[in-house]
Amino acid sequence: MSRKIGVVSREVLLAEDGVSFLRGMMEGRHPGAPFADAMDFDLAEVEEGRVVFVGKPSARYFNPLGTIHGGWTATILDSAMACAAHATLKAGEGYTTLEMKINYVRPVMPGSGIVRCEGKLIHRGGTVATTEGRLTDERGKLLAHGTETCMIFPVGVAAGR
């Protein structure tokens, strides 16, 4: 993969609104997340309150039963749902996930092809955002879905931000 992988400084992260920052990742102005690279998925679409990741589940993510581990599915769903909230941030705002719930509908397999995971904003308030996500296979069949709650805060309020 030829795109940059890494972590941006806090100043870079907070200088842009959420949509601009995420688009910067897609355009190569900002590096892609190391974990997403390791798990073979990429950010593919961004608009306010909505993102899409695409991924390629492979045998390297098998659990002992021979299906893609639920952690891979949870990770791509968490990424899509959290980034849907991220895509609502103003410059200088941060966020963190408070909770998520995942429903596994069908096993994810290498034969699922390129999967698509869409995260959408349900509600954005001053301090809390709720989102939903859907993971589908190449044929559009639902594999898993979930919901997530994120806390939004001005920079400097949460430890480490």
Residue 75 structure tokens: 């990770």
Higher pLDDT, 36 or 159: 36
Range list of H helices, the chain: 10-15, 18-27, 34-38, 70-86
Full strand arrangement of the beta sheet holding 142-154: 41-47, 50-55, 115-124, 128-136, 142-154, 93-104
pLDDT at residue number 155: 85
The rounded mean pLDDT for the chain is 94
* Domains of the chain in sequence order: 10-154 (3.10.129.10)
**pLDDT per position as a tens digit, 24-43:** 999 999 999 999 999 999 99
Range list of H helices, 39-139: 70-86
121-149 tens-digit pLDDT:
999 999 999 999 999 999 999 999 999 99
pTM recorded for the entire structure: 0.93
What the block records as the tokens of 161 is 């931000």
User: What are the tens digits of pLDDT across the range 47-77?
Assistant: 999 999 999 999 999 999 999 999 999 999 9
Whether 161 has a pLDDT exceeding 50, the answer reads no
Listed residue (20, 6, 108, 115) closest to 65, CA to CA: 108
